[in-house]
Amino acid sequence: MSDIPWGPLLITVAVVGGIIVLGLLFALWRKYRMIRSAETPLPAKVAFWGSIAYTVLPIDLLPDPILFDDIGVLLGALTYITTTARKVRRGKESRPG
């Protein structure tokens, strides 16, 4: 048999995974509040809801126990929404009046 202490290792992985999931949920909540604004462009709203749908629906690029594709889609959408919101904000600040 192997001498790897599986119990503490699995607990550590579960705790780290839980922290990552909580961080993603917090980021999603903040972006949800952001996309509700009328100033948010439609593509950012579509990216948000599309990433949520991809994560929830059972169709995946990788098998279900591997959540890397779901997390990657969520992170990509969150990055896109943040970038878009910054551009919109800069555009508003540069306008006179």
This prediction has a pTM of: 0.71
- 51 within domain boundaries: yes
Q: What is the pLDDT of residues 23-40, one digit of tens each?
A: 888 988 999 988 898 888
- 14 within domain boundaries: no
- 45 within domain boundaries: yes
Q: What is the pLDDT of residues 44-75, one digit of tens each?
A: 999 999 999 988 887 777 776 767 788 888 88
- 74 within domain boundaries: yes
* Contact of 51 with 76, CB cutoff 8 Å: yes
- Angstrom distance (rounded) from CA 3 to CA 72: 34
Expressed as residue numbers, the domain containing 37 is 27-94
- Which amino acid is it at 76? G
- 82 within domain boundaries: yes
- 79 within domain boundaries: yes
Confidence of residue 2 (pLDDT cuts 50, 70, 90): low
- Angstrom distance (rounded) from CA 11 to CA 61: 27
- Range 38-55 burial, b when 16+ CB lie within 10 A, else e: eebeeebbebbeebeebb
- 5 within domain boundaries: no
What's the pLDDT score for residue 1? Answer: 53
Domain count, the chain: 1
What's the pLDDT score for residue 84? Answer: 92
